[in-house]
Amino acid sequence: MKRRYFGTDGVRGRVGKEPMTVDFALRLASAAARVLAPDGGKVLIGKDTRVSGYMFESALEAGFVAAGVDVLLVGPLPTPGIAYLTRWFDADFGIVLSASHNLYYDNGIKFFDARGAKLSDGVEAQIEEWLDKPVVTRDSVALGRAKRVDSARFDYQEFCKSTIPEGVELAGLKIVIDCAHGAAYKTAPRVLAELGAEIVPIGCSPNGRNINDGCGSTHPELLQLTVTGVRAHLGIALDGDGDRVIMADECGELVDGDQLLYVIAAARHAEHALQGPVVGTVMSNLGLEQALAAKGIEFQRASVGDRHVLEMLRRHHGAIGGETSGHVICLDKTTTGDGLISALQVVAIVKKSGLPLSALVADMTKYPQKLLNVRTDRPVDLDASSIVRDAVQQAEAELGERGRVVLRPSGTEPVIRVMVEGLDDAKVSRVAEQIASAVKQAAD
């Protein structure tokens, strides 16, 4: 079933423009209530630190209460925290208001089912079928109730702490934590501190408009400088909604999602605790696949998007997967990608092994990779364009068997992503520019 509003990760857009308007949020709540809680029920709603979160929270609350659904409001908390708390509070479904790594002028509405998993495409399509119907308002006796749950943050923090091995404490480690002025600005520093680490917090002063602005996992330069400046053992950078993590080693060198996957999978494998294959995406670096193969660890590639990684993990009974961007999933600890929990697994490995993070990633050699975003004003059929096909064929012939080309439309932005990977950095960059130029021509 074709969906009009739901994309790869809920509904997202510029605040004030369809679909991110108060009117749409009200209608969406009414439609979701009809599908997910037709006889009444309970929804848990969280958000990140965007100023627009307040108005969307109120609109959703009104729509659900009018439809006879009780509402639990937990305030700013990471997206994976909402997934966990939906289960913890036995809610019928959960919602988080966030546009993830985007700047403050965007926002989004993401849903979780009662298990803390993302909704299926079919369920999202069912919700959309009700969007054009009048907003339902039940009789007063059947209206829902709304309340704030101040304990929710502490419940989530305790859960995060429980995911590191028993007996492992972080005393003696100095850790820089960058929360992107986002949803994890309270939870992440407090979890690390309560586990014994000495913390240096940055990006932990949200004002509603500075989320992801020059900080966090999409802008880790400040993290790198701070790690070396304060002589920390490592640094952790989350994105605005806390489901993505990038780290920096003791030298300030970045450790991306592929490298984090390698560190976690290699440690689990050494302890004979790795379940099933490791799952990456078509964008995962070839160096990850080769490093895992050298240890006898199976590797599978899913389509881009953490939901596709999650689906493949479940299908193959795996536990560790993720994306280069830092969406790392540890299904042996939680049900979805959680930046803080993933970082805790790595920090625990550093502590247990006594090795610096740089040593733990040393056995994985990344291939040079170039990623370009080509902005388009209209959809482009990449398969039908002879200009693009010819450019890709020429690039693949030039790169040989030790190179790859991946083209894909973004699920969250009006861009075509061009990824080229190979042995020679200069050649990779040149080939990527040539393909990007061909895509631009096809889009004109």
- Whether residue 102 contacts residue 74, with contact meaning beta carbons closer than 8 Å, is answered with no
Q: Name the residue with tokens 């749409």.
A: 24
The encoded tokens of residue 173 equal 């480690």
Residue 105: other Cβ atoms inside 10 A: 14
Q: What 8-state DSSP symbol labels residue 376?
A: -
Within 13 A of 402's CA, how many CA atoms are on the CB side?
11
Handedness of CA 319, 409, 52, 205 (dihedral sign): positive
Q: What 8-state DSSP symbol labels residue 423?
A: S
Within 13 A of 444's CA, how many CA atoms are on the CB side?
8
Classified as helix, coil or strand, 150 is coil
Which amino acid belongs to residue 280?
A: G
- Degrees (nearest 5) of the Cα angle 302, 307, 310? 70
Classified as helix, coil or strand, 318 is coil
Strand 278-281's sheet: what is its strand order?
299-302, 278-281, 320-322, 328-330
Between CA 413 and CA 325 the distance in angstroms is: 15
Catalytic residue among 30, 52, 98, 100: 100
Between CA 24 and CA 334 the distance in angstroms is: 32
Burial of 317-334, coded b for 16+ CB within 10 Å and e otherwise, reads ebbbbbbbbbbbbbbebb
Active site residue 385: no
CA distances to 94, 112, 114, 299, 338 from 335, in Å: 14, 11, 12, 20, 9
Q: What 8-state DSSP symbol labels residue 142?
A: G
Strand 146-148's sheet: what is its strand order?
11-14, 106-113, 93-97, 41-47, 69-76, 146-148
Classified as helix, coil or strand, 221 is helix
- Degrees (nearest 5) of the Cα angle 306, 220, 343? 50
The residue among 168, 28, 199 whose CA lies nearest residue 110 is 28
Q: Which residues are catalytic?
A: 100
